[in-house]
């Protein structure tokens, strides 16, 4: 078995509100909140790399866990906006946190990245390959979106989240996971070589509201639980209207869906781990309940993980 021993997150200091986008027609700015629920987001400082955000989230996680960097066996960074094409952003994070024994690599499954990374870490711990794996999801989409593209730029924010997956029993046990991909949709969400981020908005919306309920249903079935044991749903924070539709279609009350996209925008792979960190700190789910993670994004890809809340 594997557990999540601790979580952490980091949001850059700079807040960017919708009304600060003076490159867009003033009469269009109200569309941002009405269509997405986003009121503001954070942008990394000019001298902050993706790995710097990841480092801060990792530090917060390790502080919560109370373990030394020397105890970490592996670092997995989920990102689709890496420091560079190569090497992996995870290698700089490994260096920054001083985890000298740890191997390190990146996972790129765009907005599903954190779920894919957590599932990978879970499998590695359960196979006895590692005892402690630090999973960090970190994104700087302000750098890869076109500031003059109203269909993408206002959606996204920068940030990082982290979780320590461990073989030491803890409060949050990692349960069932589901992962899926469909490469026939690879052009729906992409950053073409030498270009900026693009997505086919309508198609992505339909994809998200289709797969979100499917992920949750598969987790519920795999865990053999009833909806009333679900303490919270941590969905990829893409758009509040998507979340509402997923709630409606899944039969899980929207009140159980954690939402912070109004403050941070869509932080791509980072959104699930940032939301998980905030949810666990605020909601303090009780023993016997479940927290379901669900994400969907470029690839196309989608996946979910169930977390069981246990006695400490």
Partner 1 sequence: MTTERYVDAIRTVFPDWDGSGDLAATTFESVPGWDSMNSVNLQMELESAFGVNLSDRPAEKRDTLAAYFEYLKTQKT
- Residues annotated as catalytic (active site), given as ranges: 111, 236, 266
DSSP result, 278-310: HHHHHH-PPTT-EEEEEEEETTTEEEEEEEEE-
28 forms part of the interface with partner 1 (CB under 8 A):
yes
Tokens of 142: 């302000």
Q: State the minimum distance, in angstroms, from the CB of residue 212 to partner 1.
A: 19
Tell me the number of residues near partner 1 by CB under 8 A. 14
Q: Which is nearer to partner 1, 209 or 305 (CB)?
A: 209
Q: Which stretch binds partner 1 (CB under 8 A): 25-33, 106-114, 137-145, 188-196?
A: 25-33
Burial class (CB in 10 A: 0-12, 13-18, 19+), 202: exposed
> Quick check: 187 binds partner 1 (CB under 8 A)?
no
Q: How many helices (H) and strands (E) does the chain have?
A: 8, 13
Task: Look at the alpha carbons of 249, 252, 258, 259 in this order and tell me if their dihedral is positive or negative.
Answer: positive
Per-residue interface string for the shown chain with partner 1, residues 30-49, x marking contact by CB under 8 A: -x---x--------------
Distance separating alpha carbons of residues 293 and 158, to the nearest angstrom: 20
Question: Shortest distance, CB of residue 23 to partner 1, whole angstroms?
Answer: 8
| Residue placing its CB nearer to partner 1 in the complex, 144 or 201 | 201
Q: How far is the CB of 152 from partner 1 (least distance, A)?
A: 8
Question: Shortest distance, CB of residue 39 to partner 1, whole angstroms?
Answer: 16
Does residue 27 bind partner 1 (CB under 8 A)?
Answer: yes
- Structure tokens, 181: 């991909």
289 Cβ neighbours under 8 A, 6+ residues apart: 229, 230, 231, 308, 309
Largest CA distance in the chain: 57
Distance, in Å, from the CA atom of 299 to the CA atom of 312, rounded to the nearest integer, reads 38
Verify binding: residue 151, partner 1, rule CB under 8 A. yes
Residue in this structure with the two tokens 């270009």, named with its chain if needed: 195
Closer to partner 1 by CB, 187 or 310: give it. 187
Interface characters, 129-148, with partner 1 (x: CB under 8 A): -------------------x
In the set 86, 184, 202, 226, which binds partner 1 (CB under 8 A)? 202
Element (H, E) at 74: strand 74-78
Q: How far is the CB of 5 from partner 1 (least distance, A)?
A: 40
From 136, 135, 129, 119, select the one nearest 167 (Cα to Cα): 129
- Specify the stretch interacting with partner 1 by CB under 8 A; choose among 128-136, 196-204, 211-219, 254-262: 196-204
Note the residue count of the chain.
Answer: 312
186 binds partner 1 (CB under 8 A): no
Query: Residue 10 or 153: which CB sits closer to partner 1?
Result: 153
Dihedral angle sign, alpha carbons of residues 41, 46, 49, 53: negative
Where on the chain is the footprint of partner 1 (CB under 8 A)?
24-25, 27-28, 31, 35, 148-152, 200-202
């Amino acid at each position: 078995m594997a557990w999540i021993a601790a979580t952490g997150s980091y949001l850059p200091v700079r807040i960017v509100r919708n009304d600060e986008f003076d490159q867009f027609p003033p009469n269009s700015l109200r569309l941002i909140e009405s269509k997405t629920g986003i009121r503001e987001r954070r942008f990394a400082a000019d001298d902050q790399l993706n790995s710097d955000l990841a480092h801060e989230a990792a530090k917060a996680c390790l502080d919560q866990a109370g373990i030394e960097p020397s105890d970490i066996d592996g670092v997995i960074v989920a990102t689709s906006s890496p420091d560079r094409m190569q090497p992996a952003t995870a290698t700089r994070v490994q260096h920054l946190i001083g985890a000298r024994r740890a191997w390190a690599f990146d996972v790129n499954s765009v907005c599903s990245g954190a779920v894919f990374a957590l599932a990978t870490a879970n499998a590695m711990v359960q196979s006895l390959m590692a005892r402690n794996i630090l999973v960090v999801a970190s994104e700087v989409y302000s750098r890869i979106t076109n500031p003059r593209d109203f269909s993408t730029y206002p959606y996204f924010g920068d940030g990082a989240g982290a979780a320590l997956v461990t073989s030491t029993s803890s409060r949050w046990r990692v349960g069932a996971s589901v992962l899926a991909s469909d490469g026939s949709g690879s052009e729906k969400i992409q950053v073409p070589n030498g270009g900026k981020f693009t997505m086919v908005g309508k198609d992505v919306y339909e994809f998200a509201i289709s797969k979100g309920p499917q992920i949750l249903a598969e987790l519920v079935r795999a865990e053999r639980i009833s909806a009333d044991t679900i303490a919270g749903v941590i969905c990829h924070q893409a758009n509040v209207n998507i979340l509402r539709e997923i709630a409606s279609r899944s039969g899980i009350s929207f009140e159980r869906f954690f939402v912070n996209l109004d403050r941070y925008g869509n932080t791509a792979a980072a959104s699930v781990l940032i939301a998980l960190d905030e949810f666990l700190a605020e909601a303090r789910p009780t023993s016997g309940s479940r927290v379901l993670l669900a994400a969907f994004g470029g690839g196309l890809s989608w996946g979910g993980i169930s977390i069981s809340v246990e006695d400490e």
